Chain A
Amino acid sequence: MQSLEVISLNIWQVLISLCNLLLLFLILKKFLFKPVKKVLKQRQDILDEQYSKAQGALSDATKAKQEWEEKISTADATADKIIDDATKTAKTASEKIIADAKSDAEGIVRHAKMNAELEKQKAADDIKREIVDVSYALSEQLLGREISKDDHKQLIDSFIENIGEANDGE
């Protein structure tokens, strides 16, 4: 079998190898670079889409959070108001109860005082009557005669009154 010299130029061979390189260039472009670039672009698109989606979700979440915070703050205010109202009602109620209790107590005390006064009066009257009776009996015994009961009573009354006045005067 024949073979070429080690260094020998053949233009057809040069041309063939030139075409080989161009052919391989086209093959690489079509079968390697084109599909890979297409896939990379698709992936970029997907990433962009997901990124924008995530951004949207984030903004939604921020909005919801804001709303929630607003609601929380208003809820605080409402709770404060409710508590305030309750305290106010409770205060008025307690004041009313205290006032009622006070007036009741005053009534009771007054009543008791009145009773005591009455009792005192009654006791004084009783004592007076006793004294009258005793003095009447005594003077009857002493005088040996019956004096008119009415006169006597008058006398004693005036006497007791004098005593009372003297006592008061002291």
Chain B
Amino acid sequence: MLKNKVLFKVVDIFYLALIIVPFILGMALNVVTKPLADGIEITGARIFWQIDFPVQPLVITESQVNSWLVVIAITGLCLFLTHGIKAAGKITVRQHIAEFIVEKAKNLVVTNMGEYFEGFAPFIAAVLGLSAFSSLSSLTGMFPPTSDINVVSGWAIVVFILITYYKLKCGPVHYVKTLCSPVLLTPLNVISEVATPVSMAFRHYGNVLSGLVISILVSTGLSGLSKTLLGWLPGILGEIPFLQIGLPAVLSVYFDLFSGCLQAFIFAMLTMLYVSGGFPAEEYFKRKNKKKQKSIGGN
């Protein structure tokens, strides 16, 4: 009994470490590899590793490493929340949280997509979690993976594949028919089909990156302003950028916390709306019923 309790605690600590260590690692990596920059320098993710591959070299960058760290942290969180989960008896706070997350994700998906898409709940939760935690990882000073267009376009491609898959549920003929429904608008329909993932990727990435750029600009600008205004102060006091205190924090609250979570929510919402909107539910169920009746009649 006591041994079990100790084992439970040990596993708990391991899971907690799984949540926290990735962020510490990310920060450490940032501190070790980031060159001391002077003035304004806005670049993409730093490349850690480069392997020659066909078409383009395979690069392992900061954004990839950071998203892996986020995935590990979320895995740790899941394991921690569902550790010692039980059906009866006293329910712990973490179990409440786990049940709350699952129920909320399910409700969100069912209200936005309908009962048929209930299995989408884990996917939407993954999109939300990965996006939100990636954006929030910039709070620790890490490079937010969502400000890299490669990362977000990867997600958008997954969404595009899902949309097309559900549009093709009624067969390619029906798909082409809906694409050419007013014949004159066919090119526009094709363009809008392609534009969907592109717009999703650009919206998300642009929002996070612009927040980052504005933060850097304001912070360096304030440092310059501080130097010119308060440079006359004697000794080390003149070196301290006093004006940098305060305003960057407020901007960070908006761009990192609010905008990060909002963009994650928008991405998830758009995924749900596009997938369920593209799915020809009426036609699909009509055909299904017909098939069922046929099979019943055949038997």
Contact = CB atoms under 8 A, between A and B. Distances in A.
Interface string A29-58: 101110111011011001000000000000
A61 B36 CA distance: 81
Contacts of A24: 71, 74, 126, 129-130
A14 B153 contact: yes
Interface string A1-39: 111111111111111111111111101110111011101
B175 interface: no
A32 B82 contact: yes
A36 B98 contact: yes
Contacts of B6: none
B244 interface: no
Kindly state the interface size class of chain A when it binds its partner.
35 or more
B36 to A, nearest CB: 12
A20 B154 contact: yes
A69 B75 CA distance: 63
B209 to A, nearest CB: 7
A20 B129 CA distance: 12
Contacts of A40: 99, 102
Contacts of B242: none
B213 to A, nearest CB: 9
Contacts, number: 151
Interface stretch (B41-49, B224-232, B247-255, B257-265): B41-49
Given A27-B74, A28-B122, A36-B82, A9 B99 contact: no
A16 B43 contact: no
Interface in B111-154: 121-123, 125-127, 129-130, 145, 148-154
Nearest to A42: B87
B21 to A, nearest CB: 17
Contact of B61 (A4, A22, A28, A43): A4
A63 B11 CA distance: 53
Contact of A25 (B33, B81, B122): B122
A2 B64 contact: no
B154 A14 contact: yes
Nearest to A23: B71
Contacts of A28: 74, 78, 122, 125-126, 129
Nearest to B87: A42
Given A2-B47, A22-B158, A17 B67 contact: yes
Interface stretch (B50-58, B164-172, B180-188, B281-289): B50-58
A15 B60 CA distance: 12
Given A18-B158, A36-B85, A46-B88, A12 B153 contact: no
Interface of B: 33, 35, 42-47, 50, 53, 55-59, 61, 63-64, 67-68, 71, 74-75, 78-79, 81-82, 85-88, 95, 98-99, 101-102, 105, 121-123, 125-127, 129-130, 145, 148-155, 157-158, 209
Top 3 closest pairs, chain A to chain B, by CB: A17-B154, A4-B44, A42-B87
Interface of A: 1-25, 27-29, 31-33, 35-37, 39-40, 42-43, 46
5 contacts: A13-B150, A17-B145, A31-B79, A39-B95, A40-B102
